[in-house]
Structure formats: structure tokens, C-alpha cells
Amino acid sequence: MRIFASAMGQIDNVGDTVLRRAFLDALRGAGQLQVFVGSRADSYLSGLGLQGEDRVYRTSAEWRREISRSTLREASVYAFNAGEMELQRAYALRYLRIAPHLALNRLRGGHAVHAGFGVRQKTGWRIPVAATLRLCDLVAWRDSYSRGAMGLGRIAPDWAFATGAADADLLASTASRPLLAVSVRYNGQRPDSEWIRALRGLADTLGLEIVAVSQIERDGPLAEELARKLGGTALVWDGPNHAQQELKLREVYQRSLLVVTDRLHAAVIGLTEGALPLVIAEDIHSKAARTLDAVGIKGATIGWTLPDTAALERRARDVISRRDPILRHVARARGALLELTDSIRKLTS
């Protein structure tokens, strides 16, 4: 069976290619991949791990035409593009337009997979989306809030947990970790002077050097600003190549004891290299906090309002004291993703 999967994501977001690479790897074992990448440059594709036997589609017209031909002549697998779901009108209409294909493909013995999603916010548009998802063989969400909002499917870890250091290396690592990584979104809340002082105090207390990293290219100017204010260094994009930037980020995370971030995939990719998260989250709707909670990693959040350096230090030391249990949760998350991958591959066996 051919597997139709879109791998479209933000052109300057390492997390988008990391999670999609893991998803494509899971799908590849079920059949020949037909991957839609649109006009994305090779620099973006570098992070997807595409292989020689994968067929790549560059235009939406060609992609839609091939899906229509497949619907008329063969059974196939349609895999929804993993990532964040925005329950808005345009998003819901895309699901409704694909529903007839899913129904006919199902009659021919084909399948549909919708795995690795998180709902940004619950709205009434969930109703037509959920109706379309009932045509899928497998539906999985990366957190309980998303599962509750949609009312169907199972919970499974974010695909990015499947990447990074091997379990044995992760759990047995005794490597020196002299860094404290900070990754803050450019379009979110900006750290105030008290927050800066508390974080600088934490780094001093723990004897760590601060590195402000840019998970997304647009985070770069803020990362450089934070590095100056925190007395650290900055790692920003020096070109558009996703694979190269991911490698640089992972090298930082491999040497980091903690990752302080409000970005989901900075926390997840950091964890896959052994760096412990301090997730900046003001409420339960933080996608980073709820995605970690879904794999059993709890009590690793801080706020934008930090009462004092001592309180921040207590939270950080608590997380550090739970290093082994936290990293075992990462290993278990990978086990759950292997089970999910097996379920996908059984569809075409």
C-alpha cells in the first residue's frame, strides 16, 4: 500500500521537522511513502530524513491529483500531518473536504491515520473535525486536554520523543553538564527584570553557564537579548538548514543540565538528549506542560512571575533530584511510540 503523508511545517522551526521525521519513519514501514512538501526548500527537507524510495510531491495540484487517482483505483493509507490542530473554520473545512476520499478509500480496504496531534483551543469547529476523524482507523493525541476536547481516540506521546540519544545512553549518561539552556518564544511574554535576576541567580547557585538558544529562527533576536541580560552566550541560526541547526541544538542539550523554555519541542528535544525541563507555564493550557504531563513528567513548571531565587532553586533542585525517574519516562514514551508504530504497520500487513 502507498502511504500519503504531508510533511509541511514552519520553514524556520526545528521542532516541526523533528516530529515529522519521526512520524515519517513510523509510516515508512507500512508501505511506500508519498510525501507532500510543497515549495519547501531543501534546507527544510534536510530535517525530514527523506529516503531514496520516498516519492516527493512539490505542488498541491499534483498531490491532490495523485490522491484522487489513488482513491479510484487502489486502497491506500492517508496519514494526516502531525502537529498542532487549530479548531477554526478553514481547518475544519479541510477535514470535511478530505472526508469523501477517506470514506471511499475505506470501502476499498484502505486506511487513515491521525496521530501526534495537540489541540490548541477547544471550539465548536471540533464537531465537523471529529466527524471526519471517525473515518480513521487510528486517532491519537499527545495530551489528555486534546483527547477530551475531541471526544475520541487515544493518548500517545509526541513523535519527537522517538528521536535523540538511545535509551541506554540516556539513562546511563554521566557526561558533564555545565550548561543551563534557555529557549523563549519571540511572540510570547517577555521575561522581566525580576525573572532575569532569578534565573541568573539560579545559574550562579548551580555553577552553570547560560546559553540562550533559538529553537525557531525568529527567536534569534530575543535569544541574543537574553544572552546579554543573563551574562551568557547565544546559539542562533546562521543559515536555513534544519539538519545543521538541529545538530547544534542537540550538542547544547547534551551538555545542559536544565532547559528553561516555553517551547514544547525545546523541552522534548532537550529531554531526548538528557537535559531536564523547567517549563514556563502559567496555566494547564500550556501545550508544553500538558504534553510532558501526558508522559508522566510532572512538577517541572515555573511561571513568568518568580517569587525569588530561592523558590526557583527549590523547583530546579527538585527536578534535578528526579533525573532518573524523569528520563525513565522518556524511555517509556518511546516504548509507547513503538507500540503506536506497530499499530500503524499492522494496518497494511
Shared domain for 24 and 148, answered yes or no, is yes
pLDDT category, 286, cuts 50, 70, 90?
confident
The better pLDDT of the pair 258, 349 is held by 258
Reply yes or no on whether the pLDDT at 333 is more than 80.
Answer: yes
d(CA 138, CA 136) in angstroms, rounded, equals 5
Looking at residue 317, its pLDDT comes to 96
Same domain for 27 and 100, yes or no, is yes
Residue 72 pLDDT:
87
Same-domain check for residues 131 and 192: no
The per-residue pLDDT for 105 is: 95
Percent of the chain's residues with pLDDT above 70: 99
CATH of the domain at 322: 3.40.50.2000
pTM score:
0.96
The reply to whether 109 and 202 lie within a common domain is no
pLDDT band at 308 (very low <50, low <70, confident <90, very high): confident
Average pLDDT over residues 31-56: 97
pLDDT of residue 173: 73
For 84-131, the three-class secondary structure string (H helix, E strand, C coil) is: EECCCHHHHHHHHHHHHHHHHHHHCCCEEEEEEEEECCCCCCHHHHHH
The predicted pLDDT at position 307 comes to 65
10, 150: one domain: yes
**Do 297 and 173 fall within a single domain?**
yes
* Same structural domain, 218 and 294: yes
Say what the pLDDT of residue 282 is.
Answer: 79
Residue 233 parent element (H or E): strand 233-235
Looking at every residue in the chain, the average pLDDT score rounds to 95
In the structure, what pLDDT confidence band is assigned to residue 202 with cuts at 50, 70 and 90? very high
Asked whether the beta carbons of 17 and 11 are under 8 A apart, the reply is: no
User: Which grid cell is 14?
Assistant: 526545528
pLDDT value at position 189? 85
pLDDT band for position 175 (cuts 50, 70, 90): confident
Could you tell me if 291 and 241 lie in one domain?
yes
User: pLDDT value at position 20?
Assistant: 98
* pLDDT tens by residue, 233-244: 999 999 999 999
Question: Binning pLDDT at 50, 70 and 90, where does residue 284 land?
Answer: low
170-184, 208-222, 261-275, 313-327: segment of lowest average pLDDT: 170-184
Domain check: are 47 and 182 in the same one? no
Predicted pLDDT of residue 188 = 85
Instruction: Give me the number of domains the chain comprises.
Output: 2
Same domain (yes/no): 62, 128 = yes
* Residue 236, CA atoms < 13 Å, CB-side half-sphere: 16
The answer to whether residues 214 and 99 belong to one domain is no
Domain hosting 179: range is: 167-332
Helix/strand/coil (H/E/C) assignment for every residue in 159-199:
HHHHCCCCHHHHHHCCCCCCEEEEECCCCCCCCCHHHHHHH
pLDDT (tens digit per residue) in 86-133: 999 999 999 999 999 999 999 999 999 999 999 998 999 999 999 999
156 lies in the same domain as 242: no
Residue 294: name the closest of 323, 268, 315, 275 by CA: 268
